[in-house]
Amino acid sequence: MPAPRLSTPTKVKNILYLTDFSEPSEAALPFAATIARGYGAKVHALHVLIPAPYVYMTPGLTVAAIEAAEETAQAEMQRLESRLAGLKHDALVERGIEVWPAVRRAIEDDEVDLIVLGTHGRTGTEKLLLGSVAEEIFRRSPVPVLTIGPGVRSSVHNGGRFHRVLFATDFSSESLAGAPYAVTLAKENKARLLLVLVMRKPAPANDGDDQRCDMSVAEAIHRLYEIVPGDAHLDSAPEVAVEFGDPADRIVEAAKQRGAGIIVIGVRSAASHLGAATHLQRAIAHKIVAHAPCPVLTVRG
């Protein structure tokens, strides 16, 4: 979905809700449902059935094991559909050996505008939507992804409305990809917009410390205000905050202190296999999603 113009509301007609029927996925469902109600959108529930590795190690049990797993998944999906009663929705259980190909097809076939998923924030292979797979989705997805982490209370969805929107940036082109969404969310929800930059620690110019700030605080504040276009017409003036320290820690703390209802960040795309060495920017995004007290909207830059 292209970045929305600020003169019109964000159009959300189709929401892809990904589930592995785990507790984190269950926690994300109210957010998908309430946002769908708010926009009159359709929810497309998807479960990708990936057989456990042991199934392929015992050929005699392969067919029976896959059929049993599919039967269980279909039963879980029926239960999930009952919770979507009253909303336009459909549900699909699809077999696969990886999650992303099925997600990509769903985005294209259903003209998806938003993906909603839950994650416990860790990495691993025990469940479908663990940290590593959730991260692959938000770094590959051409549409925004709303991730509900383990620190999010179910009560914070507030009927699908967000009263305070926190946008975090480091002024890179990737991070700024989330700016139009943050501004539009603030406008649509009549919410307060908080713009946050985390800088390296300040230091005297002659102390030999190569961790000095790259710009003055005054310049940083000026650049933060410039993120919001003059024709945004927000209900209230945006707030800006310049923090010092670990970016992920400070962003999460700012969200807690300011009562943010949603964090918006731009993220780098998956330029290479996600199992490769961790990049600093990747680590920041993952840490924010894993520890945020509110949903995190990631927009691929």
Q: In the prediction, which pLDDT does 126 show?
A: 40
Q: In the prediction, which pLDDT does 6 show?
A: 36
Residues facing 118 on adjacent strands:
148
End-to-end CA gap in the chain: 12
160 φψ region: left (φ > 0), alpha (ψ -120 to 50), beta (else): left
- Domains annotated for the chain, with CATH where assigned, are 14-148 (3.40.50.620), 161-300 (3.40.50.620)
Q: What is the mean pLDDT of residues 209-219?
A: 70
- Tokens encoding 7: 């003169």
Tell me: pLDDT of 84 over 50: yes
Q: What is the mean pLDDT of residues 53-61?
A: 56
Q: In the prediction, which pLDDT does 159 show?
A: 58
Q: What does pTM read for this prediction?
A: 0.85
Tell me: pLDDT of 5 over 50: no
Per the prediction, the chain carries an average pLDDT of: 83
Please write the tens of the pLDDT for every residue from 24-39.
899 999 999 999 998 8
Q: What is the mean pLDDT of residues 235-245?
A: 95
pLDDT band for 280, please (50, 70, 90 cuts).
very low
Q: What is the mean pLDDT of residues 86-110?
A: 94
Q: What is the mean pLDDT of residues 217-226?
A: 94
pLDDT band for 153, please (50, 70, 90 cuts).
confident
Please write the tens of the pLDDT for every residue from 158-193.
556 788 999 999 999 999 999 999 999 999 889 999
| CA angle, residues 212, 251, 119, in degrees to nearest 5 | 135
Q: What is the mean pLDDT of residues 207-211?
A: 49
Tell me: pLDDT of 2 over 50: no
Q: In the prediction, which pLDDT does 7 show?
A: 36
